[in-house]
Structure 1
């Protein structure tokens, strides 16, 4: 009997770890269907990339989008790789589009990344990219040359330990504060300091100064204010407040420049935030990826949500599909100075823009 119990216990442990390994340690919290999304009459959607045959042949999973100070649009994708792959991508993963004509100006990033995820362009036109397979944050110049990398190398058992910890959170695993565990996004401030959402196997946001020294972190798995379950996107406003898309908690959390929790926005209408951007107009734009990756394949939804600084929803729109103006997992979002909304769509493997109808 004792041997049988030991066998059952061992089998259960292997099963749990097997599930953890297959899904990367995720612990999704399902959310009820939110109310129907209103039909939009304000914005017109159109595909911005890929348009040319050669670009369609290399277009991969959409990951990130950002607008540079000069208005150019930067788009990040994974080429022939998929989420979590461990080989370098041979295709150019970063596409730079002229902000006025939407013509391709540059194709960068070939051979640099394995599974790029988050994207930011700072006030000095430096390009910041997080990679969830390399577990690093990259800072590149405008030509695509790597200037700096942030993130310590893993020890021999770090990866296994992280996967186990995501299923069994009580198991201790001490990580150096500069060690990322699949970092999801980055936001950069005018003084050169930056904050990273470190979300797939950690549950934290971490603030760095201009030299890459850690100033503070908020690091706890959970549902309470100040806790996270997959912080997936991060943005900031002029006061250096941080806005975090807390994806598997289906909410947005706001922190001040010192890491103090300010507010939490959560409602069925908000959906499941994947990406977030604070616009120059002060409004907050959310890419809601919906529940598709959390098991709801039938009647899937994805939308764009616009909120004011108090968290009140002013507009929400989007229908599921492959046509222009439709969405299939809005993964990241950016906003131009003219109010144009740019969305990176994971499943449609494209960049789409939404401009106000004239």
Structure 2
């Protein structure tokens, strides 16, 4: 970690530690989790210097449990799982909203949905740009994007890109970036989307789509055939209020980041709720419109507490 960031962290961590020690009421619902209702780690310094966070919005772990985070400064910053700053790089162009999607694929590449420049950027883990998908021109024709939100790859190396705006669809590209097919469209019926915000894909190549403004998760095969969907708008366990991110943990369960409920909810793959974590606020264990989450190899969830400019780690 840079000396400046290191100097800024101890007092903040001591302050948060005292708050955690004095906390008295757990707020996980749906599971008997006891002390696990409190975050095991809270970190982050608000700002634009290396290692600091300015409204972080997307995150992903690599195979070494290094956490990659993109924020509104158009930086990709890399931390160890405990928040120690390792390195960073910037995307080629600056926009005040930054990227909306980030994945580290099984090949170790960093896939960035560069939303407001209408493209997907493919980097190595040290920030060398390998290639891009899309010509950077906004559009609805096959191969162009309106606002790409996330990207994942399947076992064959094909890219799946979600996008919102006029298109609200999933596009599929070959490992070389050539357009193959698409599905979706704007709407509320099964197979349609209203702002598909995030993707994940499991070992059987089932694609999970966080259909944000339909408050649900939709599951597809690689040809775009709908397998299942579940979720409805609300704040009760099992309901969802703006699903902004979805991640599959090592136990095979799904964690969903709910922007409007300011919480994380854990589900089985068929949509049964296993519990919720978090509530609105600014204290430890409280979230302020979180945008994203990432699950490490140990099963711990690092939630990107966007409007609190920090990361909180907990376990269900």
* TM-score calculated relative to the size of structure 2: 0.81
Aligned match of 2:45: 50
Other-structure match for 1:287? 257
Q: Tell me how far 1:316 sits from its aligned partner.
A: 1.0
Shift of 1:52: 9.3
1:265-304 to structure 2, matched below 5 A, reads: 265-267=230-232, 268=234, 269-290=239-260, 301-304=261-264
Q: Quick check: 1:223 aligned with 2:188?
A: yes
Cα pair distance change 1:307/1:66, threshold 3 Å: same
Query: 1: distance between equivalents of 2:165 and 2:78?
Result: 27
Residues 354 and 113 from structure 1, CA distance in 2 versus in 1: closer, same or farther, beyond 3 angstroms?
Answer: farther
SS of the residue aligned with 1:143?
A: coil
Question: How far apart are the structure 2 equivalents of 1:53 and 1:243?
Answer: 33
Q: Which residue of 2 aligns with 1:340?
A: 300
1:242 aligns with 2:242: no
Whether the aligned pair in 1 keeps the contact of 2:168 and 2:194 (CA below 8 Å) is yes
Partner-residue secondary structure (3-state), 2:182: strand
Work out whether 1:105 is the aligned partner of 2:86. Answer: yes
Determine helix, strand or coil for the equivalent of 2:186. coil
Q: Does 2:304 correspond to 1:313?
A: no
Task: Return the match for 1:137 from 120, 131, 146.
Answer: 120
Match of 2:110 among 127, 139, 143: 127
Cα deviation for residue 302 of structure 1 reads 1.2
- Answer yes or no: is the 8 Å Cα contact 1:113–1:134 preserved in 2: no
CA distance in 1, matches of 2:314, 2:175: 34
Secondary structure at the aligned position of 1:352 is classed as strand
Structure 1 distance, partners of 2:181, 2:64, is 32
Whole-Å separation in 2 of the counterparts to 1:139 and 1:113: 17
Question: Distance in 2 between the 1:154 and 1:278 partners?
Answer: 32
Q: Does 1:38 align with 2:29?
A: yes
Quick one: distance in 2 between partners of 1:69 and 1:43? Answer: 26
- Count of paired positions: 279
Q: 1:120·1:188 contact (CA, 8 Å) conserved in 2? A: no
Secondary structure (helix, strand or coil) at the match of 1:347 reads helix
- Give, in angstroms, the shift of residue 201 of structure 1: 3.4
Displacement after TM superposition at 1:354 (Å):
1.5
The structural deviation recorded for 1:59 is 2.4
* Partner deviation per Cα, 1:314-338 (whole Å, 9 max, x = no partner): 1112111112211111211111111
Q: 1:274 touches 1:286 (CA, 8 Å); kept in 2?
A: yes
Give the drift of 1:345.
2.4
| Structure 2, gaps ≥5 residues long | 1-26
Q: Deviations over 1:119-144 (max 9, x none)?
A: 00012221111122101110001110
Structure 1: 5+ residue stretches without partners: 1-35, 80-88, 159-174, 291-300
Match of 2:227 among 245, 255, 262: 262
| 1:284-332 CA-partner distances (Å, limit 9, x unpaired) | 1100001xxxxxxxxxx31101001111111112111112211111211
Q: Deviations over 1:227-285 (max 9, x none)?
A: 11110111110111111111111111110111101111113322221101112221011
Q: Is 1:200 the counterpart of 2:182 in the alignment?
A: no
**TM-score relative to the length of structure 1:** 0.72
Determine helix, strand or coil for the equivalent of 1:116: coil
Q: Is the 8 A contact 1:113 1:131 kept in 2?
A: no
Secondary structure in structure 1 of the residue aligned to 2:38: strand
Aligned to 1:149: 132
Post-superposition shift, 1:196? Answer: 0.8
The question of whether the paired residues in 1 share the 8 Å contact of 2:304 and 2:311 is answered with yes
- C-alpha separation in 1, matches of 2:181 and 2:158: 12
For 1:43 and 1:335, locate their aligned partners in 2 and report how far apart those are by CA, in whole Å. 16
Q: Which has the higher contact order (CA 8 A, sep 6+)?
A: 1
Runs of 4+ deviating beyond 4 Å: 51-56, 110-113
